[in-house]
Amino acid sequence: MVAETERLFATEELGGRAVYRVHAATVLAGICLVLYYRATHVPGSAGSCRAATAAWVGMLAAELWFAFYWLLTQSVRWCPVRRRAFTDRLAARYGERLPCVDIFVCTADPQSEPPSLVMATILSLMAYNYPPENLNVYLSDDGCSILTFYALWETATFAKQWLPFCRRYNIEPSSPAAYFTLPDRPNDPQALEEWSFVKGLYQEMTERIDSAVRSGEVPEQIRVNHKGFSEWNMGCTSKDHQPIVQILIDGKDRGAIDSEGNVLPTLVYMAREKRPQYHHNFKAGAMNALIRVSSVISNSPIIMNVDCDMYSNNNNSIREALCFFLDEEMGDKIAFVQYPQNYNNMTKNNIYGNSFNVLNQVELRGTDSWGGPMYLGTGCFHRREALCGRSFNKDYKEDWNRGIKTQHHIDQTEGKAKSLATCTYEHNTQWGLEIGLKYGCAVEDNITGLAIHCRGWESVYNNPPRPAFIGVGPTTMAQTILQHKRWSEGMFSIFLSKCCPFFFAHGKTRLPHQMAYCIYGLWAPNSLPMLYYVVIPSLGLLKGTLFFPEIMSPWVIPFICVLVVKNIYSLYEALFSGDTLKGWWNGQRMWMIRRITSYLYGFIDNIRMLLGLSKMGFVVSPKVSGEDESKRYEQEIMEFGTSSPEYVIIATVALLNLVCLVGGLGQFLVSGQNMLLNGFSLQIFLCGLLVIINIPIYEAMFLRKDRGRIPFSVTLTSVGFVMLALVVPIF
């Protein structure tokens, strides 16, 4: 037993749980009453009313679903915990005798992921406050681009200036791109001189890289400088090429030193073999190739991975992660330490709802108390053994000293590594099934983390005050919808597969942990009740079909209670997590839009996959956007522009609600009824709320003139659909 004051990390419960649970009990009571009302007030099924009965039962079904889903979301709110790592205690115990760490960065396409952006990430990772001889950075290039290789070659040279500079001035963030855009510069004249010098070098390098990318080729006089360039002599394309592994810096080589004579971290470029006839399994395939390639170069016990746009923003992240792995009490049980995803390009009011504040501050902490957060695909430190399929066993002791410490023949090592990165290497092996990241799922991270949890391991969520990683989030509607489509589709496919958390994990993890996984796994089917709820009651308002109790009836109370209490809490949670009031409101809008577009598509695609009609894909999110687009993004103006079918759904729902509200109120006006105090009060309220939340959509359809507006063709199509909905006598 280690005294609590000696532990390498602490776990605290988040406060306010008693209040939370009172709130949850209130909402639960409200939900039960709502469902009871629905079940006992079904309108008579005589003749003409049959359609109304069916519509009512539909409401009941939607509300049952929402109730079930709400229950799931309680799992991540019941008892969130906060972790704190004590790097000073780690230092006192181990000094600089720390385990080797392999860092994996994945990139896939030099167009949507500019090499200069990727290089800033690589430099930030090389500059960790960590013994460089124990640090190995690997770049996987699924685009197999000579431009990316060239950029990495430039980076290997620039690192010799950048790393000592970072060390001397304790630079944070250690990404040069992020650091040099900070407004403040050093005061001390000598420091300022050095700052300008390094900044100049960095800008020149970036310029060289960017111009190579623009021209699409690497100048001949540069290509002669490194043998690696010759790999591209045989005319390889991104989809058809031999395996390439190039060790650009061999940290074990005494000659590999920076401008001050310090050892450099190892730096490796890898493009696994690709052939048109073999499936490459996207990022999971790249990660697995990296696991094998690194096993003959460094073979560190810890593997960290980040997406190519996620630079390190906190120099101590490795040491903090080690506080968990090396903790004497709990360390042996931990398979991975997950950091949150943070973005640096979010607008103040979070127009597309892409800054995951509530997820990061509440939900992941809540999952942590049940066995650990899911693996998020980036910003994660893994125990190599656990990632490679080992089950938890309390007698297993990790060898933290493992790793390849001397490299004799670099050419031999590269040759060996290449043979591990071929297309056929994995055939008839357990790779992608039991070993490494799992294949066949658009969210390889989620399913891999689940498998690790089911093998008995736990994970830990660490969210230090200074964010550990910062990346680039989607900045347009199309990108947002696309990303969420991939996620919802992937996670729902896990739910439908034999890996469904409720069955696969049954008996292996706790029920609330399975529920937490299912919150995300069931994003996709949320689309149907949502679509129902934003269309049917509004239509009912126009056509005179009642769906809610009258305002004077006591049954109104549970409806209002659920609506109000739940939303006040959600607002509180958002504000507590760092959103603004408007950000919360925008988040509500996006939550609706994602459900009726991305999640609907994710749902339909799963059905198609079950029927064998479509295959899983992985469309890389672009990390750059046009100037015009960026300007609108900064002004928080929603970007549409193209005429995609998703926009037709959004426009149709918005327009339909407007028509129903105007039409419904118009009828009351004509018939002389009280506008608000009649049987339809709640329907008017719901429909009105939808109209208010959709104001930016109406603007994009009718008022805006810029190129990001909703195209006329989309508006026209949606008008057609609305007319259809009005004409068809549904009830």
> Which amino acids are annotated as binding site for Mn(2+), given as ranges?
283, 307
- Neighbouring-strand partners of residue 103: 137, 304
The DSSP string of 111-154 is: TTS-HHHHHHHHHHHHTSSS-GGGEEEEEEETT--HHHHHHHHH
Residues 298-317 that bind ligand UPG (CB under 6 A): 307-308
Radius of gyration of the chain (CA): 28
Nearer to ligand UPG, 376 or 528 (CB): 376
Does 445 bind ligand UPG (CB under 6 A)? Our answer is yes
Q: 380-383 and 469-471: which strand pairing?
A: unpaired
Does 494 bind ligand UPG (CB under 6 A)? Our answer is no
Residues 411-450 that bind Mn ion (CB under 5 A): none
Residues 612-651 that bind Mn ion (CB under 5 A): 621
Residue pointed to by tokens 């590999």:
256
Q: Among ligand UPG, Mn ion, none, what does residue 378 contact (CB within 5–8 Å per kind)?
A: ligand UPG
Q: Among ligand UPG, Mn ion, none, what does residue 154 contact (CB within 5–8 Å per kind)?
A: none
Q: Please, are residues 81 and 15 in contact by the beta-carbon 8 Å criterion?
A: no
Q: 334-338 and 266-271: which strand pairing?
A: unpaired
Nearer to ligand UPG, 369 or 448 (CB): 448
Q: What's the token pair of residue 321?
A: 């992660």
Nearer to ligand UPG, 231 or 445 (CB): 445
Q: x/- binding map, residues 613-632, to ligand UPG, per CB under 6 A?
A: -----x-xx-----------
Where are the alpha helices (H) located in 400-476, listed in sequence order? 410-419, 444-454
Minimum distance of ligand UPG from residue 487's CB (angstroms) = 6
Which of 443, 531, 600, 665: binder of ligand UPG (CB under 6 A)? 443
Distance of CA 133 to the CA centre of its chain: 31
Nearer to ligand UPG, 273 or 444 (CB): 444
Q: x/- binding map, residues 102-121, to ligand UPG, per CB under 6 A?
A: ----xxx----x--------
Residue pointed to by tokens 């577009």:
597
The CB density around residue 262, as the number of other CB atoms within 10 Å, is 13
CA distance 692 to 704: 17
Nearer to ligand UPG, 156 or 290 (CB): 290
Q: Please, are residues 324 and 334 in contact by the beta-carbon 8 Å criterion?
A: yes
Does 377 bind ligand UPG (CB under 6 A)? Our answer is yes
CA distance 267 to 263: 12
Does 483 bind ligand UPG (CB under 6 A)? Our answer is yes
Kind plus residue range of the DSSP H or E element containing 248: strand 244-249
Binding site residue list for UDP-alpha-D-glucose: 113, 142
Nearer to ligand UPG, 414 or 445 (CB): 445
Residues 271-300 that bind ligand UPG (CB under 6 A): 282-283, 286
Which of 7, 365, 438, 486: binder of ligand UPG (CB under 6 A)? 486
Name the DSSP class of 340: P
102 is catalytic: no
Phi, psi of 560 (to 5 degrees): -65, -40
Minimum distance of Mn ion from residue 445's CB (angstroms) = 12
CA distance 276 to 630: 36
Out of 102, 368, 445, 605, the active site residue is 445
Kind plus residue range of the DSSP H or E element containing 107: strand 101-107
From the number of C-beta atoms within 10 Å of its C-beta (0-12, 13-18, 19+), residue 168 rates as exposed
Minimum distance of ligand UPG from residue 481's CB (angstroms) = 12
Minimum distance of ligand UPG from residue 289's CB (angstroms) = 10
Q: What's the token pair of residue 35?
A: 């469902």
Options 2-10, 90-98, 204-212, 486-494: segment touching ligand UPG (CB under 6 A)? 486-494
Q: What's the token pair of residue 431?
A: 């790779």
The CB density around residue 26, as the number of other CB atoms within 10 Å, is 15
Number of residues located near ligand UPG, criterion CB under 6 A:
24
Binding site residue list: 113, 142, 283, 307
CA distance 220 to 224: 7
Is 404 strand, coil or helix? coil
Residue pointed to by tokens 């250690």:
174
Number of residues located near Mn ion, criterion CB under 5 A:
2
Nearer to ligand UPG, 76 or 441 (CB): 441
Does 336 bind ligand UPG (CB under 6 A)? Our answer is no
Minimum distance of ligand UPG from residue 152's CB (angstroms) = 14
| Contacts for 568 with CB less than 8 Å, ≥ 6 apart | none
* 72 closest CA partner among 370, 352, 339: 370
Q: x/- binding map, residues 394-433, to ligand UPG, per CB under 6 A?
A: ----------------------------------------
Q: What's the token pair of residue 617?
A: 């894909």
Out of 142, 258, 309, 368, the active site residue is 142
CA distance 426 to 288: 9
Q: x/- binding map, residues 288-327, to Mn ion, per CB under 5 A?
A: -------------------x--------------------
Q: Among Mn ion, ligand UPG, none, what does residue 308 contact (CB within 5–8 Å per kind)?
A: ligand UPG
Nearest residue (beta carbon) to ligand UPG: 377
Maximum Cα interatomic distance, the chain, rounded to a whole number of Å: 92
Residues 649-688 that bind Mn ion (CB under 5 A): none
Options 42-50, 51-59, 389-397, 438-446: segment touching ligand UPG (CB under 6 A)? 438-446
Options 197-205, 358-366, 481-489, 627-635: segment touching ligand UPG (CB under 6 A)? 481-489
Nearer to Mn ion, 307 or 426 (CB): 307
Q: What's the token pair of residue 157?
A: 């040279």
109 is catalytic: no
Minimum distance of ligand UPG from residue 238's CB (angstroms) = 10
Minimum distance of Mn ion from residue 623's CB (angstroms) = 7
Q: Among ligand UPG, Mn ion, none, what does residue 537 contact (CB within 5–8 Å per kind)?
A: none
| Upstream peptide bond of 173 is cis (omega within 30 degrees of 0) | yes
- Neighbouring-strand partners of residue 551: none
Q: 469-471 and 311-312: which strand pairing?
A: antiparallel
Residues within the interface to Mn ion (CB under 5 A): 307, 621
Q: Among all residues, which ones are annotated catalytic?
A: 142, 445
Residues within the interface to ligand UPG (CB under 6 A): 106-108, 113, 140, 142, 282-283, 286, 307-308, 377-378, 442-445, 483, 486-487, 490, 618, 620-621
